[in-house]
Amino acid sequence: MADTMGNENTNIQESNEELPTDLDAISEEDKKKAEELKEEANLFFKNEDYTRAIDKYSEAIKLNPFVAAYYGNRSFAYLRTECFGYALSDASKALALDKNYLKAYYRRASANMALGKFKLALKDFEAVTKARPNDKDARMKYDECNKICKRLAFEKAIASDDGKCVADSIDINSLVIEASYDGPHLQDGKVTKEFVDDLLEAYKDQKKLPKKYVCQILIQAKKIFSQQESLVYIDVPNKSKFTICGDIHGQFYDLLNIFKMNGKPSEENPYLFNGDFVDRGSFSVECIMTLLSYKLLYPNHFFMARGNHESLTMNQMYGFEGEVKSKYSLQLCELFTEVFNWLPLAHCINKKILVMHGGLFSSDDVTLDDIAKTPRNRQPPENGIMCELLWSDPQPQNGRSPSKRGVGVQFGPDVTKRFLERNNLDYIVRSHEVKNEGYECMHDGKCITVFSAPNYCDSMGNKGAYINITGDNLKPKFTSYEAVPHPNVKPMAYANPFFGLF
């Protein structure tokens, strides 16, 4: 049981700082000190300590805000911490100072790529190729981005608009299970406890579930999710235990460790997994199929919420689509997308705890009823209730700020307080952010983050955590844990090859 709190997020961009407005007013001593800070930041960056690198770049910018490289370097560090909104802003500031600073075009393009804004990224790559027509690296990046834009345009053009879906078009009976298959079997097409137990062992040994069973599970899960509201109410009886987990991100062996520590899901041991089951980690298929199997086995005691990574654009960039194509087919990618589109957006426990993946809203007027009525059988939009539930983040200061991610909003303790009062809630639980201890309490304990993927991407060194509550005592109890070993398949192994270009 962890007994220390994570630190408040210090990764807030210095957007409101008083900076010098005249280069001539900056002393040579300050210029020299700024360069020293940049070198310190570069060393932190090299050692993958991106938070401290950002802090040092920010200090250099305070002393001398007229050096494009300071913003360009900080933009790169923001990219590594997934603060794509800040990365975009810094790259644009660098270009405002020096339109010939080509690295800034790359940084801005990378941030737009990460957000799925491929056409905007293409414009920046085009600018570099025009400035350096003989630069092979620039041309390669432009060509790769252009291929993605053309592929997406082609897929959109051929997409069917006749209302039919993949789930209805699959002929299950035509799918054959090889005679040599020695893994778990569905019973009359249904998930059983024996099946799930055997599935965990098979996945642990890196075995693959037949396509027929995957399709059957996905089609049945889609039906269950489509019958739920966007906001699901959960009743936890007195004395009964309930567990909330955050991001898993394809870290299957850490998921097994949660079940080892906290017990496997059952009617007596219910769970809520709060989004981002896939992407980044390279065992995403194993994670999502395990979770969906438990959903089918215990539909009223196992809950799953949509995260920002249960979306087509994120899956195309961060590995899940590549993994499904590698292990199965493009058709199954489309079927997963249909299931993800029906995942609930939030859960309310005992009418006192609201759980969503991202966070709160750009308006104080949102009610639980508004969330329940939010249409969700679609890709997440770039604004509105659904977007903000999946993408928003808390901030330490009051008020709201533009999102560090470039999507959603950042909200302060006053926003949380007003939302809770308006909806008669005790606190909110969200995920979406790496935390050193696997969890963090902000906003006077009223906004709790839980993140369940330890040593995220095999590089962050963070612990994972889960939350236990009981029906009669809704006070959260946190359990932190370290990462466990996994087979030698690196994170992002199936990610878009474009990431390897930077």
* CA–CA separation, 198 and 192 (whole Å): 10
Is 432 among the catalytic positions?
A: no
Question: What is the torsion angle, in degrees rounded to the nearest 10, for the CA atoms of residue 191, residue 193, residue 198 and residue 200?
Answer: 90
Q: Which residues are CB-neighbours of 351 under 8 A, at least 6 positions away?
A: 233, 424, 425
For helices 68-80 and 50-63, what crossing angle results, to 10°?
A: 160
Nearest Cα to Cα of residue 211 among 248, 183, 251, 253: 183
Query: Under a CB-based contact definition with an 8 Å cutoff, are residues 434 and 428 in contact?
Result: no
Q: Residue 272: what are its φ and ψ, rounded to 5°?
A: -125, 120
Element (H, E) at 453: none
Task: Kindly tell me the burial class for residue 152, based on how many C-beta atoms sit within 10 Å of its own C-beta (0-12, 13-18, 19 or more).
Answer: middle
Catalytic one among 309, 347, 432, 443? 309
The strand ranges marked E within 298-437 are 302-304, 346-349, 353-356, 393-394, 400-402, 409-411, 427-430
Locus of tokens 């906001």: 231
Task: Kindly tell me the burial class for residue 5, based on how many C-beta atoms sit within 10 Å of its own C-beta (0-12, 13-18, 19 or more).
Answer: middle
* CA–CA separation, 83 and 156 (whole Å): 29
Cα 29 from chain centre: 42
Strands 346-349 and 353-356: antiparallel
Nearest Cα to Cα of residue 195 among 204, 203, 186, 207: 186
* CA–CA separation, 359 and 8 (whole Å): 16
Helix (H, G, I), strand (E, B) or coil at 88: helix
Task: Kindly tell me the burial class for residue 269, based on how many C-beta atoms sit within 10 Å of its own C-beta (0-12, 13-18, 19 or more).
Answer: middle
Cα diameter, the chain: 79
Q: Tokens representing 386?
A: 């659904």
Nearest Cα to Cα of residue 365 among 393, 384, 390: 384
Q: Order of strands, edge to edge, in the sheet holding 464-470?
A: 302-304, 271-273, 241-245, 464-470, 473-481
Residues written for the chain: 502
Q: Between vectors from CA 182 to CA 180 and to CA 187, what angle results, nearest 5°?
A: 115
Query: Under a CB-based contact definition with an 8 Å cutoff, are residues 339 and 224 in contact?
Result: no
Active site residues: 309
